[in-house]
Amino acid sequence: MAGENAASENCVSFPGTSQTGICKVFDYAAGATGLSESTAKRLGIQDIITVINASPDKPGFMEGKLLVTKLVADRKTGKILGAQCVGPGNVSKQIAQWAMAIQGCLTVEDVVNADLPYAPPFSLAIDHFIATAHIMQNKMKGRMKGITTMEVREKVLKDEKPFLIDTRGPDEFEEMRLGIGERLIPLGALRKRFNELPEDKGKEIICFCKISLRGYEAALVLEDKGWHNVKVMEGGLMAWPYPREK
């Protein structure tokens, strides 16, 4: 821009940056663009909403690898403010897409309708980028009550005793689990095991699975049956940044 202005008598101005960056840490990549949650609050932007999505960058049969993305948006307008992504998957693609969304002043509603290239060697049918926006949309519209893994751990450390439901299968549970007092109730068996749930319909219940897709489905089932303080642990076990039982 300096060169263009020097050659053309100050014809352009610098719009600023969204501070996009990425780095490689062993087999992982970590990238960010725009505002983080803490930076947004430090700048006085209080009415924000965040969501965490853990899912692969492409199908498992194409050797998909995990991505964990945190999206930050304006709660009222849905404008995308920032995103961070980490994992062994294609982080660069995700951060590039979020950077362009921020530069284009796109909202969550804009992104859920994005038309991205799809083929199994390159992406899921609903790309991780769009899936993250869909989860945010569900949260903004009240279709999902989310809770972060950090908030869940804090509740456990404070001995608040939320009712934790792991909705995976028994084999998955034996292979790896959090070990924080959760109860294994596979999604397929949930409707036959309502008697194991708290009688108090207002008791805090937190559902999760590997990436919390089944956790979300379980939460909808429980809400339909009258439990009204049901939350989904965003990102599931794959977004749990603390030690797990193996």
Q: What is the pLDDT of residues 60-88, one digit of tens each?
A: 999 999 999 999 999 999 999 999 999 99
Torsion of CA 207, 220, 133, 89, to 10 degrees: 40
pLDDT higher than threshold 90 for residue 196: yes
pLDDT at 38 (0 to 100): 95
Confidence of residue 15 (pLDDT cuts 50, 70, 90): confident
How many CA atoms within 13 Å lie on the side-chain side of 162?
A: 23
- pLDDT attached to residue 16: 86
pTM here is 0.93
Mean pLDDT (whole number) for 33-43: 96
**pLDDT, tens digit (0-9, with 9 covering 90-100), for 137-193:** 999 999 999 999 999 999 999 999 999 999 999 999 999 999 999 999 999 999 999
pLDDT for residue 5? 87
Give the contacts of 65 (CB within 8 A, at least 6 positions apart).
56, 57, 58, 87, 88, 89, 90
Would you tell me the crossing angle of helices 128-140 and 91-103 to the nearest 10 degrees? 50
Radius of gyration of the chain (CA): 20
Q: Hey, what domains does the chain have and what are their CATH numbers?
A: 2-140 (3.50.50.60), 146-239 (3.40.250.10)
Cα angle: 19, vertex 21, 23; to 5 degrees: 160
Q: What is the pLDDT of residue 14?
A: 85
| CB count in 10 Å sphere of residue 15 | 8
Question: Does the structure show a pLDDT above 80 at 210?
Answer: yes
Q: What pLDDT was estimated at residue 8?
A: 86
| pLDDT category of residue 90 using cuts at 50, 70 and 90 | very high
pLDDT digits (tens, 9 = 90+) for 95-122: 999 999 999 999 999 999 999 999 999 9
Band (pLDDT 50/70/90 cuts) for residue 46 is confident
